[in-house]
């Protein structure tokens, strides 16, 4: 049986927390080992859930891009084309090029909304918050990879 990356990081985190930290106690080395265990746990959880969190946030931005009512015909057509192209292969959004295209189109939508549609601009900002939250590493113990689990 082989372990995936998340499982290997989780095993290392638990081993560090249960075997190394207690032997070193409350010394500088012990606190450093505890920090390493926490970082390994965070990386395990990020490996397990990070890509799905980021894709969900990107799909939310794509949905807003596709549904936004923009009164500038040229911009509306451009955004619609971009949304259709990205919707045709949603897995491409997870790749750097697709994500960059999505964010560039979203930035154009947000800039227009800031000038012309305050409610749409607020929805854009909410999407940006979701995108930022999706990139945040989970704190130790926030999920099953935490050293206390």
**Rounded-to-10 torsion of CA 126, 132, 135, 139:** -90
Do residues 61 and 127 touch, judged by C-beta distance below 8 A?
A: yes
Q: What is the pTM of this model?
A: 0.76
d(CA 136, CA 120): 25
Average pLDDT over residues 17-27: 96
Residue pLDDT, tens place only, 46-77:
999 998 999 999 999 999 999 999 999 999 99
Say whether 2 sits in a helix, a strand or coil.
Answer: coil
Average pLDDT over residues 92-116: 91
Q: Positive or negative, the Cα torsion across 132, 88, 46, 104?
A: negative
- E strand or H helix at 128, and its extent? helix 118-134
Do residues 105 and 82 touch, judged by C-beta distance below 8 A?
A: yes
């Amino acid at each position: 049986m082989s372990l995936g990356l998340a499982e290997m990081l989780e095993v290392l985190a638990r081993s560090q927390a249960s075997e190394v930290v207690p032997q070193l106690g409350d010394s500088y080395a012990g606190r450093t080992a505890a920090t390493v265990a926490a970082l390994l746990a965070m990386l395990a959880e990020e490996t397990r859930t990070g890509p799905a969190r980021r894709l969900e946030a990107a799909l939310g931005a794509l949905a807003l891009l596709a549904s936004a009512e923009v009164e500038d015909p040229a911009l509306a057509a451009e955004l619609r084309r971009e949304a259709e192209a990205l919707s045709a292969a949603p897995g491409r959004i997870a790749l750097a090029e697709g994500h960059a295209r999505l964010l560039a189109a979203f930035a154009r939508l947000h800039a227009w909304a800031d000038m012309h549609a305050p409610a749409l601009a607020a929805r854009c900002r909410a999407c940006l918050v979701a995108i930022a939250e999706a990139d945040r590493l989970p704190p130790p113990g926030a999920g099953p990879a935490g050293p206390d689990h």
